[in-house]
Amino acid sequence: MYEERSRRCPDRIVCISQPHVRPIVRGKQGKKVEFGSKLGLSLFGGYLTHQTLSWDAYNEAGDLQKQAEAYRLLTGTWPELIQCDKIYHTNDNRSWCKQHGIRMTAAPKGPKKNKTAYQKRKERIEYGERNHIEGRIDNAKQALSLNQIKAKLKDI
């Protein structure tokens, strides 16, 4: 960029000493852009595992099938329920889950149907269980100080 007198780069390098760090546009309120890696995490049986670690900006909705397949390799069965963020609620993921008999915590498409009190309570509990993984991520950032790592590579 310096030699070509350019302000644009196809890989969006933002750190000369660490060229793998790129901005990721998230569109969140307060922070439209975040820096760092994208993690694909799974939580089952009380254990947190990671399936994906990438420094590239990409749509992580494609990771759902790989994570479900990793679960199947580990346990021998498909998961009964996948509790995920809304970004994973794509038509491809919905049809794939339906094909494999996996329930997904996604609002059904189409007109709203009246739900029984039991269905509403069950849905609320399932959505609430997703908070466990968010808590684990927050714990890693705060208690383990993973959000405060500031270091350069030794050879730079």
- Predicted model pTM: 0.68
The number of domains in the chain is 1
155 part of a folded domain: no
Residue 48 domain boundaries: 23-144
10 part of a folded domain: no
135 part of a folded domain: yes
What residues have CB less than 8 Å from 130, skipping those under 6 apart?
83, 84, 105
What residues have CB less than 8 Å from 57, skipping those under 6 apart?
12, 22, 23, 24, 25, 38
37 part of a folded domain: yes
Percent of the chain with pLDDT over 70: 73
Nearest to 67 by CA among 31, 42, 92, 91: 42
Q: 96 pairs with which residues across the strands?
A: none
Paired sense of beta strands 103-104 and 81-82, if any: parallel
Out of 46-50, 52-56, 62-66, 143-147, which region has the weakest mean confidence (pLDDT)?
A: 143-147
- Model confidence over 106-132: pLDDT tens digits? 888 888 888 889 988 988 888 888 787
40 part of a folded domain: yes
Band of residue 90 on the pLDDT scale cut at 50, 70, 90: very high
102 part of a folded domain: yes
154 part of a folded domain: no
> DSSP letter string over 57-126?
---GGGHHHHHHHHHHHHHSS--SEE---GGG--HHHHHHHHHTT-EE--PPSSS-----HHHHHHHHHH
Give 134's DSSP letter.
Answer: H
28 part of a folded domain: yes
